[in-house]
Each structure stands twice: as structure tokens, then as C-alpha cells.
């Protein structure tokens, strides 16, 4: 069943690809900022049309990846674990997001280890699924468990195209997930198979179309329209796919989830 969600997003007015920190990024391929803004506004409108609250943080000039709000923090039961980005170019993004959360009355814990928010920390019911291998460190996984008091399940990513956990996996609801098995190490695949024997699995084609960089409210799944195979599998399980085109953001290695921070109070 769907449940109302509270999302935090950031306007892509300063969005650009000025450096390369993942295989998707090519500074020689220009970004159509007007198109990116239209796609982003459509996403916001779709969220609101489905009964969700959407709030915005003001973008900062010179921070082209600030639009990817999910990387800035992870929020569980009103507690905010901020970010410490691996790439020096992105580290300043933490400051405006921390200021936003503090202005809203949240206490923000600054991580001591490299930690990229919901990019690698995915709250999933009884535990937090945590990615490592390219960005967030295992030390940050331990830090998150101590801070939230929630069991953290470490998963190792092995394919650089899926450099963040949220490009290879997302929570459908409090009990199940969708994921691309080959993005993970053999041991991590076994862990996921044990924890989620009824998970929805995606093909590489759907994963490369950013089909797993999706957001679910428990019933509606906001996902890339190019991930047609995954949409069919979700429909067969009783979920309702809601296609939203964020293809301009794929140029930076991001999609729907990357642009969406969920505030769990």
C-alpha cells in the first residue's frame, strides 16, 4: 500500500558535467539545463500528484551535482546522518544541506568516514542496506549503525557503472527490494538472496537505463521509462510503475532517486 512521503529536492539550475567521477560523466558532452529543469519539475509535479510532500533546498552556484539530493544525507526516524563525499569537488555540497536540515529543526551528525548519504545507505524496513566498493566506506557503515541503532548490512559493489548502491537497488516497501544481482560481489548476492528470496531482479539492460535508481511509496514506483522489463516485473507483483523521464541527469550518472532525498521523521 502507498504511504505519504516527504521528499527533499534541489533545483537543477546549476546542473552541469564539469568533471568525471564515474563512468557516465563526460565533460565534453553538454547538458541541456532547460531540459533538465523541465524533467525535474515534472518529477516534482508527479510526486505531489501522488500525495507526497516535496520541499526544496536552494542550489548553490559552482556545485553542479547539488541537484542529487539523495547523496547529501540519510534520515531515519528524524535523525540525520550527513555526508562526507569522496570527491573533493562535491564536499562543499554538505554545507547547504546541513544548514537546511538544521533550519528545519533536525540535529545533523557529521560522519567521520566517507559517506554519501542515501546514495549508499538504503533504509529497508528492519535494517539499512549499505553499499561500499567505490564511494562510502565500511567504516561509515559502522558509524551509521552506531548512530541510528539499526542493523546495517554491508554489500560490496563491483561494477563501476553502479558506483552507488542506489543505482543497483531500491526498497519497494518495508519488506522487499528490487536489484541487479551482477552489480554485487558473490557474497553480497548470497546475502541479498537470503534476505529477500522474493525480490524483483532486473536485467543489465534495465539497470543501465537507471531502472533501479527509482523511488517507491510502497505501491507506486517512480522509474525510468526505458526500464520496460523491470516495469513489467513490478506490475506482475502488484506495484504500479509511474514512468518519469530524467534522462538528462543520466549524463552525470544520476536519475530519479539521486534527485530525491526522503525525510523519514
Q: Mean pLDDT over all residues of the chain?
A: 98
Residue burial 55-69, b: 16+ Cβ < 10 Å; e: rest: eebebeeebbbbbbb
Average pLDDT score over residue span 151-160: 98
For 73-106, the pLDDT digits (tens) are 999 999 999 999 999 999 999 999 999 999 999 9
Total Cβ atoms within 10 A of residue 1: 6
Question: Which of the residues are catalytic?
Answer: 164, 258
Please name which of 132, 77, 66 lies closest in space to residue 100, comparing C-alpha atoms. Answer: 66
- Residues 238-263 have pLDDT tens digits of 999 999 999 999 999 999 999 999 99
- Separation between Cα atoms, residue 25 and residue 12, nearest integer Å: 16
DSSP type of residue 115: B
Q: Is the pLDDT of residue 160 over 90?
A: yes
Q: What's the pLDDT at 31? A: 95
Name the H helices within the chain: 33-49, 94-103, 138-148, 186-195, 204-208, 228-236
pLDDT in tens, 189-213: 999 999 999 999 999 999 999 999 9
For residues 222 and 215, the answer to whether their CB atoms sit within 8 Å is yes
Q: Is the pLDDT of residue 1 over 90?
A: no
User: How many CB atoms are located within 10 Å of the residue 33 CB?
Assistant: 15
Amino acid at each position: 500500500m502507498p504511504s505519504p512521503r516527504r521528499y527533499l529536492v534541489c533545483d537543477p539550475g546549476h546542473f552541469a558535467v564539469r568533471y568525471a567521477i564515474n563512468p557516465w560523466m563526460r565533460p565534453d558532452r553538454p547538458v541541456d539545463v532547460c531540459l533538465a529543469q523541465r524533467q525535474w519539475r515534472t518529477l516534482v509535479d508527479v510526486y505531489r500528484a501522488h500525495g507526497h510532500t516535496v520541499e526544496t533546498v536552494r542550489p548553490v552556484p559552482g556545485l553542479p551535482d547539488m541537484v542529487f539530493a539523495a547523496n547529501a544525507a540519510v534520515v531515519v526516524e528524524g535523525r540525520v546522518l550527513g555526508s562526507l563525499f569522496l570527491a573533493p569537488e562535491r564536499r562543499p555540497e554538505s554545507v547547504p544541506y546541513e544548514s537546511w536540515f538544521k533550519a528545519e529543526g533536525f540535529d545533523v551528525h557529521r560522519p567521520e568516514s566517507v559517506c554519501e548519504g542515501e546514495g549508499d545507505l538504503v533504509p529497508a524496513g528492519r535494517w539499512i542496506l549499505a553499499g561500499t566498493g567505490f564511494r562510502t566506506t565500511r567504516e561509515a557503515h559502522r558509524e551509521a549503525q552506531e548512530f541510528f541503532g539499526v542493523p546495517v548490512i554491508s554489500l560490496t559493489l563491483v561494477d563501476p557503472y553502479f558506483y552507488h548502491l542506489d543505482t543497483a537497488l531500491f526498497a519497494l516497501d518495508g519488506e522487499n527490494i528490487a536489484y541487479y544481482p551482477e552489480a554485487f560481489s558473490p557474497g553480497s548476492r548470497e546475502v541479498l538472496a537470503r534476505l529477500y528470496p522474493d525480490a524483483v531482479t532486473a536485467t543489465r539492460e534495465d539497470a543501465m537505463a537507471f531502472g533501479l535508481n527509482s523511488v517507491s511509496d510502497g505501491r507506486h514506483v517512480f522509474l525510468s521509462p526505458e526500464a520496460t522489463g523491470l516495469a513489467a516485473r513490478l506490475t506482475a507483483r502488484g506495484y504500479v510503475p509511474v514512468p518519469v523521464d530524467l534522462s538528462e541527469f543520466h549524463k552525470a550518472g544520476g536519475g530519479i532517486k539521486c534527485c530525491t532525498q526522503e525525510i523519514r521523521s
